[in-house]
Amino acid sequence: MIDKRAPLTWDLQTTFFDRFKDQDDLYCSLVAPSPLHNPVMVSSNASLALELGLNPESMTEPAMLRLMAGDLAETSFHPIALVYSGHQFGVWAGQLGDGRAMTLGELAVDDNNGRSQLWDIQLKGAGATPYSRFADGRAVLRSSIREYLCSEAMHGLKIATTRALCLVTSDTSVYREEVESAAMVCRVARSHIRFGSFEHFHYRNQPEAVKAMADYVIARHFPEWADEDLRYANLINHTVTETAKMIAHWQAVGFAHGVMNTDNMSILGDTIDYGPFGFLDVYNPSFICNHSDANGRYSFKNQPSVGLWNLNALATSLMTLLPSETLIAALKHYEPTFLQHYRDLMAAKLGLLHYADNDETLINSLLALMEENQVDYTLFFRQLCYFSEPRQAVRDLFVDREAFDAWAVLYVERLSQQSVSDNDRSEAMLKTNPKYILRNYMAQAAIEKAEKGDYSEVNLLLDVLQNPFEEHPQAEHYAGLPPDWAETISVSCSS
């Protein structure tokens, strides 16, 4: 039984809501969560709790469990759901919005520079909102486990992302292809404002609302721009730059988002909305992680170009704030920023101190060789950390070993051009090339145990994925090639 008497002491601000108070329901709607029945804490993120200034032990208290399960009784929270629109699979979808997510408020945390950073605290799977579009607003346990683990895995990989504070399951039933358990993830983000937030008001011919949204983002995240004439130009330039860097990091680590709709793109360049994502097993640039993506629009190789397409859609929605020349100039920074960041990341993965012009041939020939030989992307780069003569382990990943030997000759020649010992290079590469990523079969193993009430695998993976470059003897079975049955896993937009 949950102790109903214990109060919750968690000071969330409400400045987010006050910001749009005078705009009626233009930007958001007040909502009320539908509490889960008999909630159980599957996992809580002690590391994030500490970063937020919370006592990790408080996550197990009955009052916190009630809150994380959507029970706001005896609290003063007034949650909201945001409205936005967007292009889905390249087609204008019209009004969307937080159909199953409710923002409780903001938590102010001082960073290392003494500046206060506001974090949105949001419950995902909290029930229907005005934007649910006839859906129940719930999230099932399986998709919640995937989002909980992947957002933390991405943070562990040093990729800009939303975070997850905890995961709660329950006796509440939801109906998808079959009856499943309802769950909630407490999502923590610097912002939940999306490209589609601006598109929504642009296509409704409400330029004053577009301006107010931009002013809000600037006031909250970039107060130093507030009085500058270039503040809107700064905003689009910042979004272009950070989006380019984010997607470059996706490509370097082998991550496929799966649903790069404009409503799933953060104005700050953070990875947001983990649906049918996937990490590469064998290197396959045509990899499609979303079973619903019949035409492969969001395939792994298409992600960089889709990022630019989405930024063009955002720029269109800002045409009442900025002249076309300024918007075009900002968009032109995307490709060189992406290429520079991607090349630097790939050079580091190869143990190179700096990217040189002729390294493009070295990198591209390696990727082509990996594709032809169906070499596991993560395993190869991890084993390459130990590259020296003889090089049997990494060589044996290739069917065409002679082709690898030919590439290795060029690689050895390139390494000889820098004065770094094999040991120092290896240590640096081990901090760049993860030993662990969240492969689909790993998430599936955690899901199957959790659906039987065993949450040990969720917590094991959380610990491993938050520190993916380190050794984890208890999870060594996740460091090798995936089992054959992993290829049968199919992930779609269903949640």
Hey, which residues are catalytic here? 263
Do strands 40-44 and 91-95 pair parallel, antiparallel, or not at all (unpaired)?
A: unpaired
Instruction: Work out the angle between the directed axes of helices 456-465 and 141-156 (0-180°, nearest 10).
Output: 20
Instruction: Write out the two tokens for 399.
Output: 């069917």
CA 124 to chain centre: 15
Question: What is the Cα–Cα distance from 280 to 149, expressed in whole angstroms?
Answer: 16
Question: What is the Cα–Cα distance from 402 to 297, expressed in whole angstroms?
Answer: 35
Token pair 């045509």 in the structure block, residue: 286
Helix, strand or coil, per DSSP, at residue 210: helix
Radius of gyration of the chain (CA): 23
DSSP 477: G
Do strands 116-124 and 101-110 pair parallel, antiparallel, or not at all (unpaired)?
A: antiparallel
Phi, psi angle pair for 174, to nearest 5°:
-130, 155
Question: What is the Cα–Cα distance from 198 to 210, expressed in whole angstroms?
Answer: 6
Q: Which residues pair with 110 in a beta bridge?
A: 116
Residue 76: how many CB atoms within 10 A of its CB? 9
Residue 261: how many CB atoms within 10 A of its CB? 25
Helix, strand or coil, per DSSP, at residue 165: strand
Are 68 and 186 in contact, with CB atoms under 8 Å apart?
yes
Question: What is the Cα–Cα distance from 275 to 272, expressed in whole angstroms?
Answer: 9
**What sign does the dihedral 377-157-189-233 (CA atoms) show?**
negative
